[in-house]
Structure 1
Amino acid sequence: MVCFSKVCYFTVGQLSRTLQQPEDVFIPALSTVRVFKKEQTADFKLSVGTLRSNGILPPSGDIQLQAQDLASRLKPDSVVEDISADCGLITFKVNRKLLVQKLLEPFEKGKGEKFGLNSELFDTFKRGTTLVEYSSPNIAKKFHAGHLRSTIIGNFIANLKQSLGNRVIRMNYLGDWGMQFGLLGAGFGQFGCQEKLKQNPLQHLFEVYVQVNKEAEHNEDTKQAARDFFRQLERRESQAVSLWQQFREITVDEYRRVYKRLGVHFDIYSGESFHQDQAQEVVQQLQSQGLLKTSDRGTGVVDVSADGDMSSVCTVLRSDGTTLYITRDIAAAIDRKEKYNFDEMIYVTDKSQANHFYQLFQILLAMGHSWADRCQHVPFGLVQGMKTRTGEVVFLEDVLDEARASVLHNMSQSKTTKEMDDPGGTAEKVGISALLVQDFKGPLRSDYKFDWDRMLQAQGDTGVFLQYTHARLCSLIQRNEGVEAATFDPSLLIEQTSIATLQHLLRYDEALYHSAQDLQPKHLVNFLLKLCHLIAIAHRELPVKGSPQDVAQARLRLFSGACSVLANGMRILGITPVDKM
């Protein structure tokens, strides 16, 4: 099914009557036809193979003959003007005037925010509460470029779920506990300076952490001091806790500033420290349920093997009785279910943690938490070679600063750049969109090579191209204010260029549907990039200026609809559209 439901309703209704099956069984088999720039195509296609696999048609016999037979039993009318069969597919061509009229109706008077989101494709989607855990950097460290992927992917998933009607809880689960804080606490006592901490907090903590790590490599006293400080933390001794809280508050304040630049926000800042006591309760529960075993090394383990033969175990307790990261993750998951009663929980981390989440979900299920089946890990690959043009980069802000500076420079050199109130802010938004699109174009699990030159190109499949197209459409609409007042005549938009653009808009809900199914942004990104290429052709071939008023008005309606869909899709990706550049 697609946005253009009234046309689909005709097709599905005929199929239902012809084959005497409920209408909804045909939805999985019906989809839009891929658009080609110059080539005329049908609008929808029906897969006979899918009908066969679903038991609606006999699974044996020549599939092409089946397609031709079914096509001959479906009759064209005033809505669908042509029905044909080829290669096991039945294609439907809609009356062109009706296609234009119905597809552009939602955009009348600037509406269209919900275009594609109310599609019948999403009728089977379960709405509810979705908790997304993403970003999750470590306290007392500057925001590393490596955290960028978790942050922007998690933000995309949260945006998508929210746009489809879910209640979304955005959670940042900070790495704010563990032996590294023993090292940092001991190191601050040795190398720290409160004055430097006030001036450049994270830079100073980073320097202290590097120094104390070097010292601990060859100094047993430093290692012991780190163990002592962490023990004080676990005992909640006031001096240690006070310093730890200072580190945490400083870091969260700095992170909020970076998140604001990225257009990212969180509902909850949580962390491992919140679940330290609950982790001990988890150990007791595992023990009482007979799930906790003791290994030869004296550690506490849980069997996570498929056959229950201890061939694969997960360590949840050190030999000295202290808990680990996964023990706190188990406690955190149970606590979140009790607090937020989520319907699904999504973790966004790099693919190296896939086994960790497999073990987490297996242990939760073994403990009797059946909702663990509704928990999901979205893994992603590494960014290779993310660095400034002058050398290796350590921190994300260096990348953001350089992206903004590069876009600002390119804008200053371009003859088409418009005057604007805040060129730096515009350059920031365009630079971030360039980062996002380069990241989102391929499968998330894949590693990808960071490339400044390719990322910042104004032409080609880049975030800059998306922003340029949106700004160009905004300018066109602004220059022709008042033209919309004329009566809209859909028969003035039936040339191939406008039909191709409209046919592509039909695919918007399918792009969202595929992204919602596998939580991959590539479907939406590629849809938007194709839309921009079609808009570029329409700009050349369908001028508004100099055309008769009724023609100009019809074309402007087309461009307004395309602009609305482009902006909506960009926002779901986490991109803020710019009106000028």
Structure 2
Amino acid sequence: MLSPFKKSIAETISTVAGIPIDFAERSVELCKKKELGDFSVPVAKIIRQMKTEEKNPSVVASQLAEQIKPNDIISKVTVTGPFLNFAINKSALTKMILNQVAEEKEKFGGSTLGKGQNVIVEFSSPNIAKPFHAGHLRSTIIGNFIANIHKLLGFNVISMNWLGDWGSQFGLLAIGFEKYGSEEELKRNPIRHLYDVYVKINADKAKDDNVRAQGKDFFKHMEMGDEAYLVKWKLFRSLALEDLKKTYGRLNVSFDVFTGESETDWDLVDQVLKDLEAKGISKMDKGCLIVDLEKYKLGIALLKKDDGSTLYLTRDIASAIKRHNTYSFSKCYYVVATQQTLHFKQLFKILELLGYSWAKECYHISFGMVMGMSTRRGTAVFLQDILDDAKATMLENMQKNPEKISEIDENEREAVADKIGVSAVFVQDFNAKRIKDYEYNRERMTSFEGYTGPYLQYAHARCCGVERKSGIEIPKASEVNFSLLTEKEAENLIMNIAKFGDVIMNTYRNLEPNTLVSYLFELSHVIASAFSTLRVKGSEPEIAKARLFLFYCARIVLGNGLRLLGLEPLEKM
């Protein structure tokens, strides 16, 4: 981690410039030009905190540099215009960082920042009778990523899936199943079959009002708790949930809590409506219950329709209160598409108006759309088809290299192809800022070159290959002579490894997967450059041990990054 080095530089700056240590720490940056040093301080940033009459940053930079002497951490200080540049002691950095990586392994990059704090991440949230599509994919992998980052930083994370498992559409689905359903197909492929049934009965409904009435009547019996009507819904829900869990397993995603519309606390909903009325927050308008949020530029929030039925917003208010009562969360994230931005702004504002101070710790993590998601056979409705298509493409690519594929057990090749395919889908999604829409490009994302998931997996597999083919065991840190890692490529790799902790903290602050992905590509490129120079096999024994240990540490860090993205690092491909 670079933190101890940044802190040492900050302490030096704080002393010579006479400024607060926390301000000095925020001023220390990584050098943009490596030939100038490792860290820099833009003096223009700190000059306003200094008690000096000199206002020219370049002059002040020279004055400060004269007062700073090299020490165990700082090997050299130079001035470039208004910048102070610091070169750090590479041998101290190498020993500290590589020791730490080898000791902490999967925990490297983490901290106890979140100790004792509960964080809820609600994500994925598909409708159990509809396809698991691209929008659900984005919510699923972004939410899982946010959960993983928080876990690494010591938070107690509750991963929550709020299912669309209730509503009048299930009455319609039930009568549709009586007409078009197959028990055999339901068990074989629940979600796909329920979707087919739903499409057919919806077509009937468009032509026949009686179908709509039958669906509403069926759901009314469900709402009254009539077990004869609920039994079919329970079967649909149970089988669809098991089907969903298979998809989640393929995506390397798990949940602590599966809940949904069917578990709405209606007593709490009634209490919320009473509280809103008692506090003068809500009012009746044309038979509807509303909250006027115009003065906050949030429009009119509808809580109850003129037929007395509640809306998602009403139920979300109650569920947020229930969550805080249950988990006393310090943060609650809702990972939902950007189209729902107004909904969540209204939700958080109403919670605030009700007097819940924790409302400010509720966050909507929004994301853009995936455009043109399809397979080679045309437009895809189901995510499963997209994953199958990516898997088939990766298997074809693997078979083009008989030498490489021969290293993988024949029984494992399909599973490896699937994991590479999943990596391709994930990394294409994570490449841009999450708020942006992006164009799905199957050819580009499945390439082993460029900024792709297969490229990251290949970099990890190559590190594993170096370990397997080296002919020596990975040494203990105490057996390594770190002073032998003097090449420019070795120094670059060590510096990149050292940046991991800062990247994790930046990612935690902005909750942008592409912050981590960009770093992993940079790390992979530096690893690739090092492979061509830092030969392990055939080198002098002590040099071979030092280089092998360096690649071992690089592999740990790259693997940690891949796992945070939700990917399983591959050892062969």
User: For the superposition of Structure 1 and Structure 2, which TM-score range results when normalised by the shorter chain?
Assistant: over 0.9
Equivalent position SS for 1:142 = coil
Cα distance, 1:14–1:227 mapped onto 2, change above 3 Å: same
CA shift in 2, pair 1:56/1:261, >3 Å = farther
Letter in 2 for 1:362: K
State the alpha-carbon separation in 2 of the partners of residues 71 and 500 from structure 1. 25
CA distance in 2, matches of 1:179, 1:57: 70
Aligned equivalent of 2:205, options 216, 237, 245: 216
Please show how residues 193-212 of structure 1 align to structure 2 within 5 Å.
193-212=182-201
- In the other structure, the counterpart of 2:283 is 293
Moved more, 431-440 or 71-80: 71-80
Match of 1:17 among 9, 15, 18: 15
What secondary structure sits across from 1:380 in the alignment? coil
After TM superposition, list the pairs within 5 Å mapping 1:165-564 onto structure 2.
Answer: 165-275=154-264, 277=266, 278-296=268-286, 298-306=287-295, 312-414=299-401, 415-421=403-409, 422-480=412-470, 481-482=472-473, 484=475, 487-564=479-556
CA RMSD of aligned residues (A): 2.1
Q: How far off is 1:322 after superposition?
A: 1.0
Aligned equivalent of 2:105, options 96, 99, 112: 112
CA 107–366 in structure 1, closer or farther in 2 if over 3 Å, else same: closer
How many angstroms does 1:361 deviate by?
Answer: 0.4
Contact 1:51-1:57 within 8 A present in 2 as well: no
Residues 57-102 of structure 1: per-residue CA shift (max 9 Å, x gap): 6698222223232222222234312112225332110123223222
Counterpart secondary structure, 1:444: coil
- Residue 24 of structure 2 corresponds to residue 26 of structure 1: yes
For normalisation by structure 2, the TM-score amounts to 0.94
Letter in 2 for 1:77: N
Is the 2:135–2:337 Cα contact (8 Å) retained in structure 1? no
Tell me, yes or no, if the aligned pair for 2:292 and 2:299 is still in contact at 8 Å: yes
- CA distance in 2 between counterparts of 1:471 and 1:560 reads 11
The answer to whether the 8 Å contact 2:6/2:25 transfers is no
Q: Is the 8 A contact 2:131 2:192 kept in 1?
A: yes
* TM-score normalised according to structure 1 size: 0.93
| One-letter amino acid of the structure 1 residue matched with residue 335 of structure 2 | V
Q: Quote how far apart the aligned CAs of 1:279 are.
A: 2.4
Q: Which moved more, 1:247-256 or 1:69-78?
A: 69-78
Q: Counterpart in 2 of 1:8?
A: 6
* Contact 1:280-1:323 at 8 Å conserved across structures: no
Q: Percent identity?
A: 37
Greater shift after overlay, 518-527 or 477-486?
477-486
CA-CA distance at 1:563 after TM superposition: 0.7
1:564-579 to structure 2, matched below 5 A, reads: 564-579=556-571
Paired letter, 1:142: P
Letter matched to residue 435 of structure 1? V
* Residues 556 and 448 of structure 1: CA distance in aligned 2, closer, same or farther (over 3 Å): same
Counterparts of 1:199 and 1:565, CA distance in 2: 41
Q: How many Å separate the matches in 2 of 1:343 and 1:303?
A: 28
Structure 2 partner of 1:91: 85
How far apart in 2 are the matches of 1:324 and 1:94? 59
Native 8 Å contact 2:484 2:543 kept in 1: yes
The residue aligned with 1:45 is 40
Confirm or deny: 8 A CA contact 1:179 1:226 kept in the other structure: yes
8 A Cα contact 1:32 1:507, kept in partner: no
Give the secondary structure class of the aligned counterpart of 1:112: helix
Aligned with residue 65 of structure 2, among 46, 62, 71: 71
Q: CA deviation at 1:483?
A: 6.0
Q: Does the C-alpha gap of structure 1 residues 565 and 62 become closer, same or farther in structure 2, counting only changes over 3 Å?
A: same
Residues 260-293 of structure 1 deviation map (CA, whole Å, 9 limit, x = unaligned) = 0000000000101211513233222222222221
Aligned with 1:474: secondary structure? helix
- Structure 1 distance, partners of 2:554, 2:296, is 54
Is the 1:493–1:555 Cα contact (8 Å) retained in structure 2? yes
Are the equivalent residues in 2 in contact too, given 1:150–1:349 (CA < 8 A)?
A: yes
Residue 58 to residue 374, structure 1, CA distance change in 2 (3 Å):
farther
The CA distance in 2 between the partners of 1:467 and 1:294, in whole Å, is: 58
Judged with a 3 Å threshold, the aligned counterparts in structure 2 of structure 1 residues 193 and 428 are, in CA distance, closer, same or farther, namely closer
Give CA-to-partner distance per residue, 1:136-179, whole Å, 9 cap, x none.
00022232233110000000000000001100000000011222
* Maintained 8 Å contact 2:171/2:219: yes
- In 2: Cα distance, 1:164 partner to 1:56 partner: 35
- Contact kept? 1:141, 1:251, Cα under 8 Å: no
Amino acid at match of 1:416: K
